[in-house]
Amino acid sequence: MQTITLRVISGADRGRVFEDLKPPITIGREEGNMVQLNDERVSRYHVKIQDDNGRLVITDLDSTNGTRVNGQPCNLKILHYGDTISIGRTVLLVGSRAQIGEWFAGEKSSSDRSDIDDSYDFDLSTDLQLQQSKFLSSFNMQLPRDLSPGQAAELREILDRIHRGIRNVVESAIVDEKEHVVRINKQAWQNLLLTQSEVSELIRAIEDPHAIESDSRDFPTGSD
């Protein structure tokens, strides 16, 4: 049975990473959910993700405020790595960097559409990256060492500004799943989502110095 990683990229729990979850998974604000969210607009038991013959299926559990996948309202839908799940004020990104990279590489190899640039490649040996000549890679970010409280507050404010700007793009986008486009090329879209996720984790690390350890995340701090 496949496992799934869910990364919170927007909302009160932004920066949290739920790794290697085994379906079935429920998401909600109540204790007893495998993914419990601190969001009053999320129902007690909001959605369920289950494995159906190797496919991930998300089901809305009659939630009050509904569920969106890639910006589209849905009650029942097959999930793919790289999809976004919007519930309440929370947005989750489906999949680890490796899972998203492998899935998109498979999509890319099976597509003959001319609007995809064949020079865009994923380098899975360094997580998910696009050619730096086309996109700015965001996966070598490091926090400055020995920040004073004032410096940490200033840096957090800067990161929060970046996060708000990215969030506006993510929350307003509608994915055309047939054409694999969202207002920008889907590869740029995935890079944007992962950049937002990385910024979220940096913000969380500033707010809580122990967040890295508690989330069991191998995150560079510049101490090597």
Predicted confidence (pLDDT) per residue in 53-109, tens digit: 888 999 999 999 999 998 889 999 999 998 999 999 999 999 988 888 777 676 655
Whether the pLDDT of residue 193 is over 90: the answer is: no
Average pLDDT of the segment spanning 169-191: 70
Residue 160 neighbours by CB distance under 10 Å: 13
Does the pLDDT at position 199 exceed 90?
Answer: no
179 or 214, greater pLDDT: 179
Angle formed at CA 29 by CA 153 and CA 16, multiple of 5 degrees: 40
Q: 114-118, 137-141, 163-167 — which is least confidently predicted?
A: 114-118
* Averaged pLDDT of the chain: 76
pLDDT greater at residue 221 or residue 203: 203
- Residue for token digits 């404010």? 157
Residue 133 has pLDDT above 60, yes or no: no
Cβ–Cβ < 8 Å for 204, 219: no
Whole-model pTM: value is 0.62
What region, left, alpha or beta, does residue 175 occupy, with left being phi > 0 and alpha being psi -120 to 50 degrees?
beta
Identify the band that residue 164 occupies on the pLDDT scale cut at 50, 70 and 90: confident
- CA distances 89 to 24, 69, 96, 119, 191, Å, are 23, 13, 22, 36, 22
